[in-house]
Amino acid sequence: MDNCQAFIEAFLDFDETTRSNEGFNEEKFKKVCNLLLDLKPQFQRNKSVPVDVANVFVDLYSAVESSAHRHNEEMKQKILYAADELAAIARDVTQK
């Protein structure tokens, strides 16, 4: 499995968890963040983002954010933080 696919699968797993009764999972969140950060050199070198990753980026924030509202306030805040952080990392890894 390549790095892009590993990121996508980790993100989908994290996103599914946010939609479940479990809500925010710190380990899954860290894994997604680290895998995404690991992609930065590849994106910088290629000066592009693969289409499959770009497709995830399009819905990344809204997918996670929309799950927050089904949880109690504390869990909601953790999930909203995760959505903000993932979006910030996605912006960072695609910048020069």
| Predicted pLDDT of residue 1 | 62
Residue 95: which pLDDT band, with cuts at 50, 70 and 90? confident
3-state secondary structure of 69: coil
Range 25-39 average pLDDT: 97
CA distance 67 to 83: 10
| Segment 47-94, tens digit of pLDDT | 999 999 999 999 999 999 999 999 999 999 999 999 999 999 999 999
CA distance 15 to 22: 11
Residue partners of 60: CB distance under 8 A and separation at least 6: 11, 83, 86, 87, 90
CA distance 78 to 73: 9
Yes or no: say if 27 and 10 are a contact pair by the CB < 8 Å rule: no
Q: What is the mean pLDDT of the chain?
A: 95
